[in-house]
Amino acid sequence: MTELLNIENLHARVEEKEILKGLSLKVNAGEVHAIMGPNGSGKSTLASVLAGKPGYEITEGSVNFQGEDLLEFEAEERAQKGIFLGFQYPVEIPGVNSMYFLRTALNAQRKARGEEELDGIDFMDFIQDKLELLDMNTEFLKRPVNVGFSGGEKKRHETLQMCALNPTLALLDETDSGLDIDALQIVSRGVNAMRGEGKAIVLITHYQRLLDYIEPDFVHVLKDGQIIKSGDKTLATELEKEGYSGLTNETTAA
């Protein structure tokens, strides 16, 4: 098993407040990990820190991605190295249509990798099967990024971007929240299409039902800034029944 991501004893603060308090997690190539946990426990913070969002102070610990110190790199460099974050709350970019946005992003990444950039026509060819996979049409691409999108459309749009950018490590922050059953299936189809050798997916979710569609290899519970419990997919079913309140930090208690 090749190791893709190794987080060790990560401590992170934002605005003087410690949010991640010694978090450790290993992700190998080919794996799907689900992270669950109560509101405010630090799940989105973990995703932001991994993606390089400015404003977080790392006070302790390390993050290794494909043999490199990930924390050394700027957000765009991490993206270019194959880290994708599906946002819990995607932001609006008025006046910039989705097609232009996606093509600019794709070309920025291709350029960084020394690949040829795609012109408008090539891009349309390129994006066609991804749109089909997600039951979307080209009309959608003409709309300004996230402006006036419904909750479900935003999530579908995040999934489309993931499929287009084809990341090595996808971090999906509640991409399933607010989706109806059909949309959930469609988004899951997109995520499953991403599974593959050499790649990994980390799903942040509150709902066990997502895991009926995307079967995880591991389920972790994140509480108060640490991973306090890990198991296989049966852990999710257990959590659904019992909730988080009974759980204490077994890893540090041990």
Partner 1 sequence: MNTAAKMPTPPADNVINKDTQLDKTYKYGFSSDIEMDYAPKGLNEDIVRLISEKKGEPEWMLEWRLNAFRIWQNMVEPNWAKLGYPPIDYNDIYYYAAPKSQKEKPKSLDEVDPELLAVYEKLGIPLKEQEVLAGVEGTSNVAIDAVFDSVSVATTFKDKLAEMGVIFCPISEAIRDYPELVKKYLGTVVPQGDNFFAALNCAVFTDGSFVYIPKGVRCPMELSTYFRINARDTGQFERTLIIADDDSYVSYLEGCTAPQRDENQLHAAVVELVAMKNAEIKYSTVQNWYPGDENGKGGIYNFVTKRGTCKGERSKISWTQVETGSAVTWKYPSCILEGDYSVGEFYSVAVTNNCQQADTGTKMIHKGKNTSSTIISKGISAGRSNNTYRGLVHIFPEAENARNYTECDSLLMGNKCGAHTVPYIRAHNNTANLEHEATTSKISDEQLFYCRQRGLSEEDSVSLIVNGFAKDVMQQLPMEFAVEAQKLLGISLEGSVG
Ligand X SMILES: Nc1ncnc2c1ncn2[C@@H]1O[C@H](COP(=O)(O)OP(=O)(O)OP(=O)(O)O)[C@@H](O)[C@H]1O
Point out which residues bind partner 1 (CB under 8 A).
Answer: 51-55, 74-76, 79-80, 84-85, 87, 90-96, 101, 104-106, 108-109, 112, 144, 161, 165
d(CA 153, CA 240): 27
CB 109 within 8 A of CB 165: yes
41 versus 109: smaller Cβ distance to ligand X: 41
Residue 228 dihedral angles phi and psi, to the nearest 5°: -100, -15
Identify which of residues 44 and 188 has a Cβ nearer to Mg ion in the complex: 44
Question: Are 45 and 56 contacting, i.e. CB atoms less than 8 angstroms apart?
Answer: yes
Q: How far is the CB of 208 from Mg ion (least distance, A)?
A: 17
Compare residues 43 and 220 and give the one whose CB is closer to Mg ion. Answer: 43
Place of tokens 């389920």: 219
SS3 for 78? helix
As measured in angstroms, the least distance from the Cβ of 124 to ligand X is 35
* The entry of ligand X, Mg ion, partner 1, none that residue 161 binds, CB within 5 to 8 Å by partner kind: partner 1
Give the shortest CB-206-to-partner 1 separation in angstroms: 22
Please choose which of Mg ion, ligand X, partner 1, none residue 91 contacts, taking the beta carbon within 5 to 8 angstroms, the exact cut-off set by kind.
partner 1
If DSSP codes are grouped into helix, strand and coil, which group holds residue 236? helix
Using CA atoms, how far residue 139 sits from 52, 83, 97, 168, 247, in Å, is 32, 28, 11, 29, 47
The distance of closest approach from Cβ of residue 95 to partner 1 in the complex, given in angstroms and rounded to an integer, is 3
CB of 141 to partner 1, least distance (A): 15
Task: Choose between 88 and 161: whose C-beta lies nearer to Mg ion.
Answer: 88
Query: What residue ranges bind ligand X (CB under 6 A)?
Result: 14-15, 17, 19, 37, 39-45, 88
- List the single partner that 14 binds among Mg ion, partner 1, ligand X, none, CB under 5 to 8 Å by kind: ligand X
Residue with tokens 């970019």: 93
User: By C-beta, is 57 or 215 nearer to partner 1?
Assistant: 57
When CB distances are held under 5 to 8 angstroms depending on the partner's kind, the choice from ligand X, Mg ion, partner 1, none that residue 41 binds is ligand X
List residues near Mg ion by CB under 5 A. Answer: 43-44, 88
Backbone angles phi, psi at 85, to 5 degrees: -115, 120
What is the phi/psi pair of residue 204, to 5°?
Answer: -100, 125
Q: Report what 17 binds from partner 1, ligand X, Mg ion, none; CB cut-off 5-8 Å by kind.
A: ligand X
Q: Which residues contact 175 (CB under 8 A, 6 or more apart)?
A: 86, 155, 158, 159, 187, 191, 203, 205
